[in-house]
Structure formats: structure tokens, C-alpha cells
Amino acid sequence: MSKNVQVVVDRLLSLRGRMTKQSKIKQINNLSNIFFILLNYTIMNTIIDTLQRRYATKKFDPNKKLQQSDIDTLLEVMRLSPSSFGLQPWRFIHVSDPAIREQLKANSRGQPQVTDASDLLIIATKTNVQEDEIDEYLQSIIDKGGKKKILKD
């Protein structure tokens, strides 16, 4: 927790009975707003910090394996990624067959990462979304109780 967030938390915890209920609620609301601004600021700094440290790995130790929980987290991040109209015109393919990875390597200018990395995830994008797929998607939202307005030309 950053120092600023700690200050706000301490202030929130120190609100004592001498105040009226209404002014207490007002104080808590004000401090909660500051808390969330500082929290967002902290999260943004963490993202920028992570981006500054990231790099595209080119060489992998073929003996090292990611834990399944890490793969699951990665797939969940991909699954929850935003897309235009929420159509998600993609498929994520987790290639586990070594023979297929060899074939893919041959079609990736022989890049060793394709076979040496712990796992291979392919992102396949749909380049031509058809009208019936859009209808199907909107219907699935309605079926789940969504109230999306469908604007027609």
C-alpha cells in the first residue's frame, strides 16, 4: 500500500463518535473518493512500471514449464479482453501436440520459440463477421437477461 493510500485509510479509521452521523457519512464519502483516486493512481503506476520492464522473450529453456494455474490465468485474461461490440471475433488455440508445434515452427521461419517455449497459444481472428453471427450474439445477450438496445438502419 502506498503512503498516500495509508494516510487515507488511517483517516477513515480514526473517525470517532464526536461527529454527527451525517457529517461522518459525508467525511467517509469524501475520503472514499480520495481513496479510489489514489488506488487508481497506484494501479496505473503499476501498469506503467510493468510495461517498462516487459520485453519479448526470444530464447526459452525447453525444460521449464509454466504452471497450469498460470496458463489458466492467461487464458482468462484473453477471454475477458474487450472487443468491438463485444463480438469477440477470435479463437484462442492452446497447441499441446509437439508434432503440430514442429509443423508450425517450419511455417514460422523456423523460429525456435514455437517449440521451445513452455506453451504455445495461437490467437486466430475472424476477418469477416457475418450478420447471422451478430444476431446469434445479440440473442445470447437477451437470453442471459441483458437489455441491449438493437439499433437498425
Q: Given the rule CB under 6 A, which residues bind ligand FMN?
A: 55-56, 58, 111, 113
Q: How far is the CB of 45 from ligand FMN (least distance, A)?
A: 20
Cα separation, 4 vs 42, in Å, equals 10
List of residues 6+ apart from 118 with CB closer than 8 A: 60, 64, 65, 66
Cα separation, 9 vs 35, in Å, equals 8
Q: How far is the CB of 15 from ligand FMN (least distance, A)?
A: 47
Q: How far is the CB of 108 from ligand FMN (least distance, A)?
A: 6
Name the H helices within 80-112: 98-106
Nearest to 135 by CA among 85, 70, 82: 85
